[in-house]
Structure 1
Amino acid sequence: MKQIVDITTEDARWDEVGIEELAQSAATATLDFLKISDGFEISLLACDDNRIAELNSEFRDKGDATNVLSWPSEERAAEIDGELPENPEPDSQSADFGMPDELGDIAISYDTCAREAADEGKPIGHHVTHLIVHGVLHLLGYDHIREKDADLMEGLERDILETLSIPDPYKT
């Protein structure tokens, strides 16, 4: 599997979950499903609720913990509700030097992910994979604020997770 996620682990509990493998698998499946070429990198911060609450406060003016946050390296969203964002293309200069282009950053909280997985009766690995797919889609310009965008994003999440043999996370 190609290495596309650069991971910083601040909470050792993530090692027990296998965050490296989950992140690489989720990001690779997402980019492959969308037919996005090689040459990209994602930074992932595997942290706890305290750290993600700090980030949520700093960047979103919300002081509580959340499961996942993402910061795209550039704005890629489609202007019209329900339209596909344009896939990024690697910068030829970066490729000439063997350097990947940065798609953006993701932070994920162990505490919230573990609690949500337990509350929903899901394996934590499935829930974490879903949240990383979700975060990568945000980096690529997908969102769930507008109704048609939300339908598009959720449909992609289901399809990508299916390629990883993970059940539909929205099915109750």
Structure 2
Amino acid sequence: MSLTVDIQCASAEPVPDEDDIRRWIDAALAGHRDGQETEISLRLVDREEMAGLNSRYRGKPGPTNVLSFPSDLPPELGLPLLGDIVICAPVVAAEAAEQHKPPRAHWAHMTVHGTLHLLGYDHIEAAEAAAMEALETRILASLDFPCPYGGDTVKEHNAR
């Protein structure tokens, strides 16, 4: 698989190294797009930009940690764009502090989480959430990160 990740940084908050981001996305894609070219755009934003996107696309006020926008290009175009991921750097930093997690581990989690949404995974229903959380945990373990859902319940996760 050939992976291209276009990373745009529009936040003054510290963000992970681009090589780490690409490695986390690659780990999330493992076994899903074997042999296929894949392109993802990732934008790292501030609270204001994310709040606008969250309001426009989800009808929810304020910023959220990550949003994913799967590509809806017709397959006959043959373009490798899987979609776009937007991560709010200040929200990720604040959540990591609140949850007593290493910032790098939380960044890896949000990157994997956003990538899985591009692949069609969701957490609206409890069974879907459990499956997605289990997959995230396996992917993060393969990257030497701890389980991201230590005290987080499915209900708390879905409320975000």
What TM-score do the two structures reach when normalised by structure 1? Answer: 0.79
Counterpart for residue 160 of structure 1: 139
Match of 2:99 in 1: 120
Assess, with a 3 A threshold, how the Cα gap between structure 1 residues 109 and 93 changes in structure 2: closer, same or farther: closer
RMSD: 2.2
Name the CA distance, whole Å, in 2 between partners of 1:62 and 1:41: 28
CA contact (8 A) 1:14 1:46 kept: no
Higher RCO structure (Cα 8 Å, ≥6 apart)? 1
1:80 — aligned with what?
Answer: none
The match for 1:32 is: 30
Residue matched to 1:140: 119
Q: Deviations over 1:31-79 (max 9, x none)?
A: 114463340111111011111001111111112111001111139xxxx
Gaps of 5+ in 2: 152-160
Matched residues in 1 for 2:100 and 2:19: separation? 22
2:155 is matched with none
Percent of paired sites with the same residue: 41
2:60 to 55, 59, 62: 62
What is the count of residue pairs matched by the alignment? 150
| Separation in 1, partners of 2:89, 2:83 | 20
1:104 aligns with 2:102: no
Once the two structures are superposed, what CA deviation does each residue of 1:105-161 show, in whole Å capped at 9, x if it has no partner?
A: 110011110000011111111101101100010000000001211111001000000
Query: Equivalents in 2 of 1:92, 1:61: separation in Å?
Result: 32
Aligned to 2:21: 23
Greater shift in the superposed pair: 58-67 or 27-36: 27-36
Distance 1:8 1:157, change over 3 A: same
Determine if the alignment matches structure 1 residue 43 to structure 2 residue 41. Answer: yes
Write the distance in 1 (CA, Å) between the matches of 2:31 and 2:98.
29
Greater Cα offset, 139-148 or 2-11: 2-11
Amino acid in structure 2 at the alignment position of 1:167: P
Contact in 2 for aligned 1:130/1:157 (Cα 8 Å): yes
One-letter code of the match for 2:126? E
Runs of 4+ more than 4 Å apart: 91-94
Separation in 1, partners of 2:48, 2:11: 11
